[in-house]
Structure 1
Amino acid sequence: MNEQNITAQLKDIKPLLEIPDSSYYIYWGLIGLVGLLLLGILFFVAKRFWDNRKINLAKVYLEAIKKIEWEDTKKSAYEATHYARLLATDERRKELFSQLEPMLEKYKYKKEVDEVDEDTRNQFNLYVQVADESV
């Protein structure tokens, strides 16, 4: 009877079911996602470094000084003085700037100013030419 009772109890136990295991695919999917994420971050960091590599400020100042329009004389005199001072790093440019600055002074501190005279324009063009050769 005991044996029948055990057999009856064992008949009540269901056979093992096969459970679908997708943890292998989830594992590799997460590895791939993290890898893509890291590659994306690496790409944007490298792009930022490439775009922000050291800029030659002298070339930027030279381009700005070349773009000066002499229609608004007062504003142009201020810009020319500012960028010329920034470009005056060696002796030749410092000497030319010391000659150019007093010529530009007469256009800066007055309410109404005249057009730039030829001497000032020639001195400015000489300064730009010398700065362009040395940059």
Structure 2
Amino acid sequence: MKQEQSFDIPLHDIKNIVDVEEYSLYYFLGASFFVLLLLIVVAYFLYKWLKKKDKFNLRKENYKALNNLDFSDAKKSAYDITAYGATFKDDSPRHHEMYLNLTNRLEVYKYKKEVGAFDDETIGYMELYKGMIDV
């Protein structure tokens, strides 16, 4: 006599499958988005800085040229002051008036074959005009 074996054993300690909430993918995506956003902002400011750094500024260049003029050659200096100073003549009515006054004083040194050195009053006007310029 054989006994039949029963396979219907009640199991009390095994539980059903439970959904495990896993957020690591969301943390990774959030961190990746934040890093990407940070890189875009840094790249934007770097681009703006490089663009501003390489920008040619005619006013600054002409201001440097005015300050570096050699007054030993009065004729060449008179032409240079007229050319470089024209950049700043429209800054204000005062600048325009001073520029016209200065160019009238420099006429003596321009259209002659041989000219003497600048007189002290003309040099004073040139220094005053250079001092008025805001770059």
Interval of TM-score (by shorter of Structure 1 and Structure 2) = 0.5 to 0.7
Shift of 1:106: 0.3
| CA distance in structure 2 between the partners assigned to 1:67 and 1:126 by the alignment | 15
Q: Which has the larger share of helix? A: 1
Structure 1 residues 54-63 or 108-117, which shifts more?
54-63
State which of 110, 113, 125 in structure 2 corresponds to 1:111. 113
| CA distance in structure 2 between the partners assigned to 1:81 and 1:50 by the alignment | 31
- The letter of the residue matching 2:87 is L
Shift of 1:51: 8.4
State the match for 2:126 in structure 1. Answer: 124
Show the 5 A alignment for 1:82-101.
82-90=83-91, 91-101=93-103
Shift of 1:72: 0.8
Residue ranges of structure 2 left out of the alignment (5+ in a row): 1-46
Number of residue-to-residue matches in the alignment: 86
| CA distance in structure 2 between the partners assigned to 1:55 and 1:92 by the alignment | 27
Shift of 1:100: 0.3
Show the 5 A alignment for 1:53-72.
53-72=54-73
Structure 1 residues 60-69 or 85-94, which shifts more?
85-94
Shift of 1:52: 7.1
| CA distance in structure 2 between the partners assigned to 1:102 and 1:112 by the alignment | 18
| TM-score calculated relative to the size of structure 2 | 0.59
CA RMSD of aligned residues (A): 1.7
SS at match of 1:92: helix
Show the 5 A alignment for 1:40-55.
50=51, 53-55=54-56
Shift of 1:50: 4.5
| CA distance in structure 2 between the partners assigned to 1:103 and 1:60 by the alignment | 24
Conservation of the 8 A alpha-carbon contact between 1:61 and 1:87: no
CA shift digits 1:32-77 (9 cap, x unpaired): xxxxxxxxxxxxxx7xx64873222111110001111011110011
| TM-score calculated relative to the size of structure 1 | 0.59
Residue ranges of structure 1 left out of the alignment (5+ in a row): 1-45
State the match for 1:74 in structure 2. Answer: 75
